[in-house]
Chains A and B, each alone.
Chain A
Amino acid sequence: QQQVKQSPQSLIVQKGGISIINCAYENTAFDYFPWYQQFPGKGPALLIAIRPDVSEKKEGRFTISFNKSAKQFSLHIMDSQPGDSATYFCAGLQGGYNKLIFGAGTRLAVHP
């Protein structure tokens, strides 16, 4: 049973456009919701994260929107750049020992 569902699987955006990736979770025990960015041949790296008591968090061109009642959260990348081309994973973190439950991932391609 997939605890974190992520969509779309792949996304193509033109340079300067907005990239939107959505996630839904089932486990209400998650107490932190990070997004990880992964470039080919590399390990994932933390991009941005949000706590469930906050509805939005913005860091530069990256924004997380969080809807606790709907158990959904999304990543918005404004002014998308070719350098943003990567695979993005949403996740839920189970407190105590920082165990991450990941979504399936979204492969983003930003075309010049």
Chain B
Amino acid sequence: NAGVTQTPKFRVLKTGQSMTLLCAQDMNHEYMYWYRQDPGMGLRLIHYSVGEGTTAKGEVPDGYNVSRLKKQNFLLGLESAAPSQTSVYFCASSRQGYTEAFFGQGTRLTVV
């Protein structure tokens, strides 16, 4: 029972490069989320999805895109990375009708 798995765990990008972060959950949850965690700012919602094929913007969506082609996967893309996107990214999932969110172990991204 893996729960929520994020790939990769660490990544260093150069400014302007692109990359995709993968989140996979094996709990058959309907809802999935991407958060970023920065010191002194807690976790902030980037984008979320309420079902396969759906996505919506969160608090800080600029510079990111997402896709949910399969129910178990939620991808976060950075088309042109900027140093301001240096952060720890967390994926989470939750079940419709329940309030608890389950988080992955995080991806530490550094943009130089």
Contact status B31-A102, CB under 8 Å: no
- Assuming the A-B contacts A97-B48, A98-B94, A104-B41, are A42 and B101 also in contact, with contact meaning beta carbons closer than 8 angstroms in the complex? no
Q: How far is the CB of B109 from chain A (nearest CB, A)?
A: 15
Contact status B45-A101, CB under 8 Å: yes
Contacts of A93 in B (CB 8 A): 99
Query: Counting chain A CB atoms within 10 Å of each CB, which of B92, B98, B101, B104 scores highest?
Result: B101
Contact status A98-B103, CB under 8 Å: no
- Assuming the A-B contacts A41-B105, A43-B4, A43-B103, are A99 and B43 also in contact, with contact meaning beta carbons closer than 8 angstroms in the complex? no
- Our count of residue pairs bridging A and B at CB distance below 8 angstroms stands at 60
Q: How far is the CB of A28 from chain B (nearest CB, A)?
A: 18
Using a Cβ–Cβ cut-off of 8 Å, how many residues does chain A contribute to the interface with B? Answer: 23
Using a Cβ–Cβ cut-off of 8 Å, how many residues does chain B contribute to the interface with A? Answer: 27
A100 within 8 A of B: yes
Contact status B42-A42, CB under 8 Å: no
Alpha-carbon distance A49/B101, docked complex (angstroms): 12
Contact status B99-A99, CB under 8 Å: no
Contact status B48-A44, CB under 8 Å: no
Interface residues of B in 43-75 (CB under 8 A from A): 43-45, 48, 50, 56, 58-59
Q: How far is the CB of B90 from chain A (nearest CB, A)?
A: 5
A85 within 8 A of B: no
Alpha-carbon distance A34/B90, docked complex (angstroms): 17
Which single residue of chain B is at the shortest CB-CB distance from A3?
B59
Q: Of B40, B58, B103, B104, which contacts A99 at CB under 8 A?
A: B58
Contact status A32-B99, CB under 8 Å: yes
Interface residues of B in 88-108 (CB under 8 A from A): 90, 92, 94, 98-106
Interface residues of B (CB under 8 A from A): 4, 31, 33, 35, 40-45, 48, 50, 56, 58-59, 90, 92, 94, 98-106
Interface residues of A (CB under 8 A from B): 4, 6, 9, 32, 34, 41-46, 49, 89, 93, 97-105
